[in-house]
Structure 1
Amino acid sequence: MRYPNFFSEVRRIQNRFHNLFDPVWEGGQVYPTLNVYTDQDKITVTAEVPGLSPEDLDITVAHNLLTISGEWKEYTQNKPRRIERARGKFQRRLELPVAVDSEKVEASVKDGVLTLVLPILESEKPRKIRIEAKA
């Protein structure tokens, strides 16, 4: 039988505990959870937004700051016995690694996942420098 390293387990628990309070100290909430993917031409952000329609979301982009906000409505049907899903207003701000073209951002929601495609500004893209040989 193999036992986990005690100190690494304590460190893991300690990190999880501290991460619980990070959003509170920053004035935000942990929802929705995000994934961010980058390549040379674009940044793709996915966010979990179960139960929200496009009308429930507000997305803004300014230079390299993305803001996603919205509201999960209170449960009005039967009084729930247990609530684990987020509810109420939320706002997530994400500083992007480069400036994006806010005029060309594409947004869609499917199966509770918001997908944002943010094209990187041409001036931010790396460019190859041609070397001239001199005699």
Structure 2
Amino acid sequence: MRQQDFFSEVRRIQNRFHNLFEPVWEGARTSPALNVYSDQDKITVTAEVPGLSPEDLEITVAHNLLTISGEWKDEGQAKPRRIERARGSFKRQLELPVAVDSEKVQATVNEGILTLVLPVLESEKPRKIRIEAKA
């Protein structure tokens, strides 16, 4: 196993362990559920953010750490009898497996799904090495 693969696996296990202890608030998660996809060129992260607009969200990328934060505002109705939908502020952090170009990150919200496309830095992409034959 390559060293990079080993550390990626350790990070994955750490994230899974951390997620076991995320607080639950009155039957609802206090932070959005994420899906993460990657290939050589980009990392795509989708997050469930129903009811939030772009103004309700803040996204930062520093080094290899992606942070998504925001707040579900109280609907201002009468005292609730039952709460299952998330509300309140949240902050979700995800360690990225490679460095990304933070200047070129694209973020969109459509029907309650936040989609982030994080381009991988050119220096992080695998390069094919040309081999010269010597006679």
After TM superposition, the score normalised by the length of structure 2 is 0.78
> How do 1:1-135 and structure 2 match up within 5 A?
22-24=21-23, 31-135=31-135
Contact 1:63–1:101 (CA under 8 A) maintained in structure 2: no
Contact 2:30–2:86 (CA under 8 A) maintained in structure 1: no
Structure 1 unaligned spans of 5+: 1-17
1:62, distance to aligned residue in structure 2 (A): 1.1
Deviations 1:78-133 (A, max 9, x none): 33321111110100000000000000000000000000000000000000001111
SS at match of 2:123: helix
Distance 1:122 1:47, change over 3 A: same
Runs (4+) of structure 1 moved beyond 3 Å?
Answer: 18-21
Contact 2:45–2:116 (CA under 8 A) maintained in structure 1: yes
**Counterpart position of 2:5:** none
Distance 1:20 1:81, change over 3 A: farther
1:21, distance to aligned residue in structure 2 (A): 5.0
Equivalent position amino acid for 1:23 in 2: E
Structure with larger Rg = 1
Distance 1:105 1:131, change over 3 A: same
Equivalent residue pairs, number: 114
Structure 2 unaligned spans of 5+: 1-16, 24-28
Contact 2:30–2:88 (CA under 8 A) maintained in structure 1: no
Structure 2: distance between partners of 1:77 and 1:31: 22
